[in-house]
Amino acid sequence: MTHLLNIENLHVAIQGEEILKGLNLKIKAGEVHAIMGPNGAGKSTLASTLAGRESFEVLEGTVRYQDEDLLALDAHERAAKGIFLGFQYPTEIPGVSNLNFLRTALNAQRRQRGEAEMDGGTFMKLAREKAQNLGISIEMLKRFVNVGFSGGEKKRNEMMQMAVLNPTLAILDETDSGLDIDALKVVSDGINALRSADKAILLITHYQRLLDYVTPDHVHVLADGKIVRSGGPELAHELEEKGYQAVA
Amino acid sequence: MVATAETKTQIDELTGTYKHGWSSDIESDFAPKGLNEEVIRFISAKKDEPQWMLDWRLKAYAMWQKMEEPDWAMISHPPIDYQDIYFYAAPKQKDGPKSLDEVDPELLRTYEKLGIPLAEQEVLAGVEGAPRIAVDAVFDSVSVATTFRKELEKAGVIFLSISEALRTYPELVRKYLGSVVPQRDNYFATLNCAVFSDGTFVYIPKGVRCPMELSTYFRINAENTGQFERTLIIADEGSYVSYLEGCTAPMRDENQLHAAVVELVALDDAEIKYSTVQNWYPGDKNGKGGIYNFVTKRGACRGKRSKISWTQVETGSAITWKYPSCILEGDHSVGEFYSVAVTNNHQQADTGTKMIHIGNHTRSKIISKGISAGQSNNTYRGLVRVMGGAEDVRNFTQCDSLLLGDRCGAHTVPYIEVKNPTAQIEHEATTSKISDDQMFYCMARGLDAEEAVAMVVNGFAKDVMKELPMEFAVEAQKLLGISLEGSVG
Ligand SMILES: Nc1ncnc2c1ncn2[C@@H]1O[C@H](COP(=O)(O)OP(=O)(O)O)[C@@H](O)[C@H]1O
Ligand SMILES: [Mg+2]
């Protein structure tokens, strides 16, 4: 298999307005890519499109994932095939505990893959282990999904979900924003724990500092709906010094 | 399993044409269509009732004839032809579904999702030849019921069909029947007084904590109770009982009109917890068929420190007209109402509660969660009344509506009447929609659209669902999701 993810000439519109304007990106298994770019460039639009947000309209282009037409799949099918989106703004679901949400999600994915559902005991063991690694208390797992969570708690909760769901392609949309340095370290450890030869990670970030902990193989600059420059980790440093305007 | 178009049998068609000649012979199993004194005498004789009971029925019938159907609820339906209804033991129709192949496939899909075995599906769907005592047969529980009864007897709990109670404990029934819901209360309650077929009688003696949840599943000798059911529960001083009514599986019934009456009486320090899952056939996607459910449920907290708690999950019926209420007479008595009402397609629900504060230091709490989808209409209607003599009353009301789509309606109609200045009344109301963000968040984690709706809706209804006894909770959760299927694209 050549690429885990292959995006060619992707054009996406939101409510009739074209946001992505011919984006190309190839990611191989084992790689970590970082996308940086100014606010409003279309980074979250790309992330949501890959995860299958229905209201985003693909005007043109192809996306292949594991040699399959990704755009033909519904969001929940993509999740079952190993795509995970760490949301920039995780959504609140009042009345649903984190544990219940996570177990329902995990078993929904397993069902789709034809695997047996995970029983309560096994799930709790898994959840405890992952929570401990991320410094998440059992109390927090019992709270309603993202309700009343601080910005940092929400991001850590996304990492918790990622750890339990164990995706093949993780797209992390500004998971580092709003984290203090300790939380950033915990989150970085979580991301690094997922790194392996058969998985890939797409980091969307504004800041060099995450990339100090999670070293990317490739860095891309997204501006006005397109990848305008690609390079190695050094590109992130250049961006930090000179700003997007100069680099793009 | 293939079903033809005409097998989408409509309940109103099922009440077809029975040609059996009328005979007032007590041996006959049926009374003919329509209502008159003779039919009432027949019902009473059939049950071998005491004279006072017959007189009571006839008195109600005389009242009813002069009454008008109420029109204040936010519901509409074609006029009900009371002369076209069987008031006692409608005969099995020849044009009922002959096998499951002839039953609304949507209904069968629901049974499948709830994991109901085939034999029980037949009972629920009213297939010809299937046993008539649905709820009992469903749980195939003769042996369970026997053990169960023995244990109750040991505790001194009386748990009988109301006909049986009228024979064995006539004075007890006479003392309380109609003492909470007066005969003249409302059109449908008065009708029920005249024609009620059967129902449940429960008496918990002083100081007894009923050793198990009482469920209609286990009540034997109670046929034909679905239509004009009558329930009377008395919790004597210091006693406790939890009563479960209904069934999560959608039940078909040949009778379109349902008009039940439930009366609860709690004496000093007694507590009654009454939980309902109502899932009568709601009609098809186009709003054809379905049960009209006009229910009067009321509890009297007569004793000091008594407590009555209503929990309901209403997902079925074409029309739901229902206001389980509490009359808080005893000082320090407590009334609670927890409700989830789901309407989809063309269903209409006008439901809520009345909390009447008469005693001092009485408390009430109302949590209502309305969920509307399709082209349905869902109304919360609630009254909190504080009488002039009632000191230090508190009420808290939380009324939330959730909309799925933009063709449905949610309405909140609170009435607050406070005649004592020491009362503290709090009312909160919200209306929200399931957001695209919530749907996408769930789906991006692997849930399909229907699972996502079920997840968000169960979260929304959580504060009520957690009040349900364990026996009901899990199934009721599934039921919420199923009731809303097809409501998101
Ligand atoms: N749900 C939405 N509805 C309408 N416009 C949107 C929506 N989401 C994003 N946009 C618009 O799309 C453009 C790109 O936004 P986004 O992808 O969030 O940028 P970034 O993540 O790079 O900051 C912006 O102009 C934004 O206003
Ligand atoms: Mg963004």
Per-residue pLDDT tens for A200-213?
A: 999 999 888 888 89
Mean pLDDT, residues B449-463 taken together: 93
Contacts of A91 in chain B (CB under 8 A): 435, 437-438, 440-441
Residue B177 half-sphere exposure, CB side, CA atoms within 13 Å?
25
Mean pLDDT, residues B353-381 taken together: 94
Pairing outcome for strands B271-278 and A83-86: unpaired
Mean pLDDT, residues B412-425 taken together: 95
Task: Name which of B352, B339, B372 is nearest B465 in CA terms.
Answer: B339
Nearest residue by C-alpha to atom 4 in ligand 1: A14
Per-residue pLDDT tens for B157-166?
A: 998 888 888 9
Q: Does B455 sit within 8 Å of A96, measured CB to CB? A: yes
Does the pLDDT of residue B74 top 80, yes or no? yes
Task: Name which of A155, A131, A247, A150 is nearest A203 in CA terms.
Answer: A155
Does the pLDDT of residue B145 top 90, yes or no? no
Contacts of A87 in chain B (CB under 8 A): 441, 444
Phi, psi of A45, rounded to the nearest 5 degrees = -60, -45
Does the pLDDT of residue B240 top 70, yes or no? yes
Contacts of A103 in chain B (CB under 8 A): none
The total number of residues shown for chain B amounts to 489
Q: Concatenated DSSP letters for A82-147?
A: TEEEE-SSPPPEEEEEHHHHHHHHHHHHHHHTTPPPPPHHHHHHHHHHHHHHTT--HHHHHSEETT
A22 or B106, greater pLDDT = A22
Q: Concatenated DSSP letters for B248-288?
A: SS-B--S-SEE--EEEEEE-TT-EEEEEEEE-B----TTS-
Please give the pLDDT value at position B247: 64
Give the rounded percent of residues in chain A with a pLDDT score beyond 70: 99
- Is A15 within 8 Å of chain B by CB? no
Rounded-to-5 percentages of helix, strand, coil across chain B: 30, 30, 40
Q: Provide the token pair at A148.
A: 């009343």
Split at pLDDT 50, 70, 90, the class of A1 is low
How far apart are the C-alpha atoms of A236 and B172, rounded to whole Å?
85
Question: Looking at CA atoms only, how far is residue B89 from chain A in angstroms?
Answer: 44
Does the pLDDT of residue B121 top 90, yes or no? no
How far apart are the C-alpha atoms of B249 and B280, rounded to whole Å?
8
How do the domains of chain A map onto residue ranges? Answer: 5-247
Q: Considering only B253-262, B323-332, B445-454, which range has the smallest mean pLDDT? A: B253-262
Give the rounded percent of residues in chain A with a pLDDT score beyond 90: 76
- Is B280 within 8 Å of chain A by CB? no
Please give the pLDDT value at position B224: 45
Q: A49 with A21: CB under 8 angstroms?
A: no
How far apart are the C-alpha atoms of B23 and B26, rounded to whole Å?
8
Mean pLDDT, residues B358-369 taken together: 97
Contacts of B463 in chain A (CB under 8 A): 95
A89 or B486, greater pLDDT = A89
Residues 6+ apart with CB under 8 A from B228: B87, B191, B192, B195, B196, B197, B258, B259, B260
Please give the pLDDT value at position A101: 96
Closest-lying ligand 1 atom to the alpha carbon of residue A222: 22
| Cα–ligand 1 centroid distance for A3 (angstroms) | 28
Q: Of all helices (H) and strands (E), which one includes residue B54? A: helix B51-65
A104 or B102, greater pLDDT = A104
Split at pLDDT 50, 70, 90, the class of B217 is low
How far apart are the C-alpha atoms of B352 and A1, rounded to whole Å?
61
For residue A162, the chain B residue with the least C-alpha distance is B445
Per-residue pLDDT tens for A76-88?
A: 999 999 999 999 9
Please give the pLDDT value at position A106: 96
The count of other CB atoms within 10 Å of the CB of residue B195 is 24
- Is the CB of A41 within 6 Å of ligand 1? yes
A178 or B235, greater pLDDT = B235
B56 or B257, greater pLDDT = B56
Which of B401, B445, B453 is the mutation pick for testing A, counting most A CBs within 10 A? B445
Please give the pLDDT value at position B362: 98
How far apart are the C-alpha atoms of A83 and A61, rounded to whole Å?
19
Does the pLDDT of residue A226 top 60, yes or no? yes
For residue B459, the chain A residue with the least C-alpha distance is A95
How far apart are the C-alpha atoms of B482 and B344, rounded to whole Å?
11
Per-residue pLDDT tens for B255-294?
A: 678 899 999 999 999 999 999 988 887 777 777 778 888 9
Closest-lying ligand 1 atom to the alpha carbon of residue A46: 17
Mean pLDDT, residues B359-374 taken together: 95
Mutate to test the pocket of ligand 1, among A39, A44, A53 (most ligand atoms within 8 A of CB): A44
Pairing outcome for strands B257-258 and B394-403: unpaired
> Mean pLDDT for chain B?
81
Mean pLDDT, residues B351-380 taken together: 94
B143 or B115, greater pLDDT = B115
| β-bridge mates for residue B252, sequence order | none
Does the pLDDT of residue B135 top 60, yes or no? no
Determine the topology of domain A5-247 in CATH: Rossmann fold (3.40.50)
B171 or B212, greater pLDDT = B171
Split at pLDDT 50, 70, 90, the class of A151 is confident
Please give the pLDDT value at position B146: 56
Q: Is B431 helix (H, G, I), strand (E, B) or coil?
A: strand
Q: Considering only A75-79, A226-230, B125-129, B468-472, which range has the smallest mean pLDDT? A: B125-129
How far apart are the C-alpha atoms of B69 and B63, rounded to whole Å?
13
